[in-house]
Structure 1
Amino acid sequence: MVRKHLLAIGGALGLGLVSAGLAQTIEGLDLGAIQSRAVEQARDAEAFLSAVSDRGKDARDEARQTVDESLAAVKAIDPTKLPKVGEAGAIDLDEMVSGAQGSLDNPRSAPLFIAFASLSMPEDSLKQMIADVHKAGGVVVFRGLPGNNGRMFAAAMRRVVSQDASGNVAIDPRLFRAFDIKAVPTYVAVSTGFTPCDDFACKSRVPPFDRVTGNVTVQYALESLAQAKGPGAPVAGAALANLVRHD
């Protein structure tokens, strides 16, 4: 069970809701920032290991091994081997795959408009979703790294995320658990702000919210949520106004 929770660590090492400064860009990937966070990521691993200390030595050893493997997967990304995909701009992957401990030590409010996504979605649909959610002022959230493969995730992000929208993309399995997300795409409008719980395997208690699940556009989802007059309607209406204004 411990290992099951830990398999998402490669993605869980980051609730990248706010853009970090780009330290060094190579082939469109902020590898310098990723590698410069190795020490902080090691602290993340230690913090998580202490959280499971009461589960026995075997659990701690397994946790350490899985965390080490996840961090190694991110640090091993070679930007020179990533495909060139045009002028999408530099993507701050470090923002999405590191800094979890900062989020846990200094919890930030979760976004009010959230689009849950996966790399299993058609690429064109995912690209349009990310662009529109950015315009609406929301955040697109992924559960974790596919197959714990940082290189695969980085390459995919370069194809679908523009530089100005990278701050609106995050990896956070806690939000998937909090809203019990079973399918993507799912759009959620939350009535009020809340702070995600402070454990990698926890499940947050969330305020009233509305959701739409299905292969629909961001505008359709927001219109549906706003017209439903539920608890998330005010947030959906504001996000819809943002989207229309930027189109």
Structure 2
Amino acid sequence: MRKSMVGLGGVLAIGIVSAALAQTIDGLDLQAVEKRAENGRQDAQDVFDFVTGQGDPPAAAAREVVDNARDRIADLDVSAIGKSEGPVNLDELVAGAKSTVAGPKSTPLIMAFVSLSMPGESLRRTIADTTKAGGVVIFRGFSAEGPKPFVEALSRVVDQKSASNIAIDPRLFRAFKVDRVPTIVAASTNFEPCDQLDCVTPAPPHDRISGNVSLAYALQEFVEGRGPGAPAARVALANLTPRQ
């Protein structure tokens, strides 16, 4: 059974984004799932199992979902909301999907837990710095309005370079007991989160800091504190800080 972190370019995100663009996929009515959200824990688990190949149909169907989603995502026009560097290419946001299906991935060592409720400039800086440092930016999930507003809002604060370093994974919020954003975590080792939407995997030893601080500040604190996350923080800080 594959236990992979679900990235924005990964399978779960693709399956849910596709729900905004297509009525059904291989007999699974995603629109109906969304309408039943108030009773939808099992439905959400069905979607999770379906697109990760853990349920029925198996992984081959999940790969077909990925392929179909890559075609349908092109219909979502966000050209008017891109940054000055140009609009975010949504095909690139989901380009890692096939590799996510193909093999397991474990969690990163440097994680920035964020939300679209953060001030735009703070979120933009956190995403850019975390990408440069070699970490991953983690969102808990979509807003109540669904995936399309989420993708549109995200495109205002992320450039193409950072797209592959963004993930949606509520399991990591639970594992590290994150209840406020931004929260920066430096873990001592990676681990494989459990594969159910409502499960909790014990987190490895780690350092963390919450509040409106820069990534560089957080990493420096971890390094100086010599805690369990110090080795990972030292590497990330070296990536982030230009050599003189």
Structure 2 gaps of 5+ residues are: 12-16, 31-37, 52-68
Q: CA deviation at 1:150?
A: 1.1
AA aligned to 1:131 is A
Task: Count residues with an aligned counterpart.
Answer: 203
2:76 match = 79
Q: Deviations over 1:178-214 (max 9, x none)?
A: 0000100000000012111111111112211010111
- Measured in 1, the distance between the counterparts of 2:40 and 2:189 equals 39
Structure 1 gaps of 5+ residues are: 1-12, 21-30, 45-58
Q: Does 1:16 align with 2:7?
A: yes
1:236 match = 233
- Measured in 2, the distance between the counterparts of 1:137 and 1:231 equals 18
User: Conserved in 2, the CA contact under 8 Å of 1:17 and 1:139?
Assistant: no
Structure possessing the higher relative contact order (Cα contacts under 8 Å, 6 or more residues apart): 1
Structure 1 residue corresponding to 2:208, chosen from 211, 232, 238: 211
- Measured in 1, the distance between the counterparts of 2:27 and 2:223 equals 40
Tell me the SS of whatever aligns to 2:112: strand
User: Conserved in 2, the CA contact under 8 Å of 1:83 and 1:155?
Assistant: no
Q: CA deviation at 1:43?
A: 11
Q: Does 1:90 align with 2:77?
A: no
Tell me the SS of whatever aligns to 2:121: helix
User: Conserved in 2, the CA contact under 8 Å of 1:189 and 1:232?
Assistant: yes
AA aligned to 1:209 is H
Structure 1 residue corresponding to 2:189, chosen from 192, 207, 228: 192
When residues 137 and 62 of structure 1 are mapped into structure 2, their CA distance, relative to the original with a 3 A threshold, is closer
AA aligned to 1:146 is S
Q: CA deviation at 1:149?
A: 1.6
When residues 94 and 146 of structure 1 are mapped into structure 2, their CA distance, relative to the original with a 3 A threshold, is farther
Give RMSD over aligned pairs: 4.2
Structure 2 residue corresponding to 1:221, chosen from 214, 218, 222: 218
2:173 match = 176
1:154 match = 151
When residues 41 and 14 of structure 1 are mapped into structure 2, their CA distance, relative to the original with a 3 A threshold, is farther
- Measured in 2, the distance between the counterparts of 1:40 and 1:228 equals 52
Instruction: State percent identity of aligned pairs.
Output: 39
Q: CA deviation at 1:63?
A: 3.0
User: Conserved in 2, the CA contact under 8 Å of 1:116 and 1:140?
Assistant: yes
Tell me the SS of whatever aligns to 1:80: coil
- Measured in 1, the distance between the counterparts of 2:151 and 2:27 equals 18
2:116 match = 119
When residues 237 and 17 of structure 1 are mapped into structure 2, their CA distance, relative to the original with a 3 A threshold, is farther
Q: Does 1:138 align with 2:117?
A: no
- Measured in 2, the distance between the counterparts of 1:41 and 1:184 equals 38
Q: CA deviation at 1:113?
A: 0.2
Q: Does 1:64 align with 2:43?
A: yes
Q: CA deviation at 1:88?
A: 4.2
When residues 63 and 95 of structure 1 are mapped into structure 2, their CA distance, relative to the original with a 3 A threshold, is farther
AA aligned to 2:189 is T
